[in-house]
Structure 1
Amino acid sequence: MDFSENFLHFIWQFRLFNSAKLYCADGEELQVLHPGILNKDAGPDFSMAKLVIDQTSWIGQVEIHIKSSDWLAHGHQNDPFYNAVILHVVYQHDSPVYRTNGSLLPVLVLENLFPIRMLANYHELIASVNSFPCQKHIASLDQFIIEGVLSRVLIERFEQKSAEVFLKLKAHCGDWEQVFYYFLARNFGFKVNAVPFELLADALPQQILLKHQDNPLQISALLFGQAGFLDHQFDEPYPIQLQKEYAFLKKKYGLIAVDKALWKFLRMRPQNFPTVRLAQFAALNLKSSKLFSKVLEAETLAELYLLFNDLPVNEYWQTHYHFNKNTGHVVVQPGLSSVQNIIINTVCLFLFSFGKYTDQPALVERAFDFLEKIPAERNFIVNQYVKEGIKVDRAFASQALLQLNKCYCNQKKCLNCGIGIKILKK
């Protein structure tokens, strides 16, 4: 059979079969009062199903297979845990199945009980070689349905990302400022340099930077030194000063720098070079100590923009993209899109996470409110959906589409997606 058991799970869970007059394979009359709860762990596929078989009520588990002989192939006949199964649902019935106590297991055969077009729709989605499985169909759906799905997957995205925040929080004994500093650093690296920025944040705890909050030279020396960029022969006064300061601070704190080879410069715009981003990150740490506390206090986007604008970047970087490489005028302030990226991926995530952690729903609502007010991100993935007529004008929608694409479309989990389910039911 050219489909998976998940397709039959879908048919059973949403009762998409003809249930007007059901009979088991051996002739018993069957009523499905409730299909049960889908089990995503080990054991029978559905639990707490409510059935009536030959006028006898049953509450128990349901197991689903393509063929009834799969019960034997999977070894369920030797597993006492499967004795609680009250119904075996299959596409084809090719073998009787008995429980370990010798009783015959009732079987419902689905082969002719659902519209064949549903299977055709499923094959079309799963076999699709388009940008995403439902590319040809999604424009036919009501925008209200799509928005509902996007709202659900956005919450799922933030729940998943929050789990990573909480894991890091546990490792740092509940220090929210340090964990925010770590995720903020990763965000400053974008995707290309996220990993070395993460390693830098681990190699240089925020507590050390706070001890030198009033010394711009030492803040920059610590960051550039720990990033590995001061292990070089310099000709200009500023990097020589940084190098001397770092030599002292490195010995004082017993620091170990990140491998400079990890940083990537190729195929990047000069304003996104890691050296420039590090200069901005140093300036942000100078401007705002205890930044997470200030983020929590900001109730409007305008207040957040103020935190990330007008950074005191050292004037050296107005004429340099790299040490010892003088160039023309350089824009040292992060652009609006960069600031919005930080708010979307770090600030909103932490408002959501902290709100959940401390049971402050107002912070969760604020995170989503900011996403509703920030323009949508534009990238290759989002543009695929926009091209098919999906309305994506706010970051709320673009973030949701990134989650939809990563966790459903790329994995062809159409049976777990509200959009896929609607198309299959059409």
Structure 2
Amino acid sequence: MQEDFLHYIWKHKKFQVTHLKTTNNEAVSVNNVGQHNLNSGPDFFNAQIKIDQQLWAGNVEIHIKSSDWFLHNHEQDKAYDNVILHVVWEHDTDVFRNNNTPVPTLQIRDFVETSVLNSYKKLFSKENKWINCENDFKSVDDFLLKNWLERLYFERLEQKSKTIETLLEESKNDWEGVLFKMLAKNFGLKVNGEAFLSVANSIDFSIIRKTQSNQQTLEALLLGQSGLLEEKIEEPYYLSLSKEYQFLKQKFKLEKNQVTQIQFFRLRPPNFPTIRLSQLASLYSQNQNLFSKVIEANTLEKFYKLFKVTTSSFWKTHYTFQKESKASVKLLTKSFIDLLLINTIIPIKFCYAKQKGNDIDDLIIKLGTEIHSEKNNIITAFNNLKHVSNSALDSQALIQLKAFYCDKNKCLQCAIGNSLLSK
């Protein structure tokens, strides 16, 4: 039994509302269950309860056992002096306020229908399941599911906004600098994301501004700070970049103390850090005011055009400095740009609009629904239960659902869990 389940029962009146009685055999009538409080203090504010023909207005506290009142030290907290009803699953002791007046207690298990309890037990059964509701997920109403996923999508964007807001505070509200750090992290993908971010953090964005007009200079800066120009390699382009970096290192007094080691292991050649850093350098050498362009763009086509960049010419025939490869133009692919949009661009646009007080929710939804769904184990597993992920909006929402609801057994705060319990 979870206390959240009792909150659910009370909030949605999933109990016999007639013939209620307190543990002292006083008649109870619930006029208003109150407002659910998710912060500290009593669980429901401003309830209206008639007890033994007397109408009371105040707060309701909910526990598994009556004795939990003392376990949580409520008897010492003035915030609980205005509790008009104590709702419990099991009444094991009487509870008194600070002025020694008894708190009326409702043992709600006496009034909960068996069907509600069975639905709860089924949802939280101890079977070895991927998610609690996997046996019933297919039956969830499509309209409910669509609306819940949209809400989860924005919940995930709000969560990502916290990272952006922290970076803004650290950079004194430099949006261009924050965009560079976010892009750098996502150019590194999962393997080198944190390493690329550490490189971006090691370079003040004012240095990027001063060097971005020359692609080779910027490439030397990024590769050098990443520790990729420290070997003895007799290759003309490598030597040129190394010389350029040594000059930049002295000029800008660059340090690499906090830079994380770059990895090549288990990466496909197109994702090698040499290629991704060259593409990042190309992006910034071609766009002096990238943040403004990101904010102005409002269609996928414009974003695909903006991020249509390749490497410097050397990398057309190389993936590493040591070995030549078959010639190929290494453009950012649409699928890679989609990842940048999902993980950097849309969160940046959302956060910027929120700070400016602008409503761009319709644009955010439009972009999210036009980008293809991500492909990973979570999305595959959900689609095996019911084909539900058709766009990036869906896949981002499902990732949020799995991580912050399913994995934490928060079915009672989930629209899907609520709908299944209501059946």
Find the aligned partners of 1:168 and 1:48 in 2 and give their Cα distance.
Answer: 40
Return the offset for 1:265: 2.0
The alpha-carbon deviation at position 348 of structure 1 amounts to 1.0
Write the mapping of 1:18-417 to structure 2, written as runs, cut at 5 A: 18-126=16-124, 127-257=126-256, 262-309=261-308, 311-361=309-359, 363-417=360-414
Q: Is the 8 A contact 1:30 1:53 kept in 2?
A: yes
Compute the RMSD of aligned alpha carbons: 1.7
Q: What TM-score results when the alignment is normalised by the length of structure 2?
A: 0.95
Give distance in 1, aligned partners of 2:414 and 2:257.
42
Structure 2 residue runs without a partner (length 5+)? none
Inter-partner Cα distance in structure 2 for 1:66 and 1:259? 49
Q: Which amino acid aligns with 1:216?
A: Q
- Closer/same/farther in 2, CA of residues 259 and 165 from structure 1, 3 Å limit: closer
Identical columns (%): 38
Contact 2:199/2:259 (8 A) holds in 1: no
Q: Secondary structure at the match of 2:319?
A: strand
Query: For the Cα contact (< 8 Å) 1:382–1:398, is it kept in 2?
Result: yes
Q: Work out the CA distance in 1 between the residues paired with 2:35 and 2:24.
A: 26
Tell me the matched-pair count. 422
Secondary structure, counterpart of 2:190 in structure 1: coil
Kept in 1: contact 2:20–2:111 (CA 8 A) = no
1:295-334 C-alpha deviation (Å, 9 max, x unpaired): 112122111100111x241122122222223333455112
Measured at CA, do residues 380 and 357 of structure 1 come closer, stay the same or move farther in structure 2, by a change above 3 Å?
same
Kept in 2, the 8 Å contact 1:196–1:258? The answer is: no
Against the structure 1 CA distance between its residues 272 and 159, is the aligned structure 2 distance closer, same or farther, given a 3 Å change threshold?
Answer: same
Give me the TM-score of the superposition, normalised by structure 1.
0.95
Question: Secondary structure at 2:315's aligned position in 1?
Answer: helix
Whole-Å separation in 1 of the counterparts to 2:273 and 2:190: 12
CA distance in 2 between partners of 1:122 and 1:374 (Å):
37
Q: Greater shift after overlay, 112-121 or 62-71? A: 112-121
Distance 1:87 1:259, change over 3 A: closer
- 1:351·1:366 contact (CA, 8 Å) conserved in 2? no
Query: C-alpha separation between the residues in 2 aligned to 1:173 and 1:78?
Result: 43
- 1-side partners of 2:240 and 2:258: how far apart? 21
Q: How many angstroms apart in 2 are the aligned matches of 1:312 and 1:147? A: 38
**C-alpha separation in 2, matches of 1:390 and 1:60:** 46
Amino acid at match of 2:355: Y
The one-letter amino acid paired with 2:402 is N
CA distance in 2, matches of 1:61, 1:242: 69
Q: Distance in 2 between matches of 1:261 and 1:354?
A: 29
SS in 1 for 2:172: coil
Does the 8 Å CA contact 2:373/2:392 hold for their aligned counterparts? Answer: yes
CA deviation map 1:371-394 (0-9, x unaligned): 111111111111111111132211
SS in 2 for 1:88: strand
In structure 1, stretches of 5+ residues that fail to align are none
CA, structure 1 residues 206+74, in 2 after alignment: closer, same or farther (shift >3 Å)? closer
1:26 to partner: Cα distance: 1.0
CA distance in 2, matches of 1:71, 1:212: 64
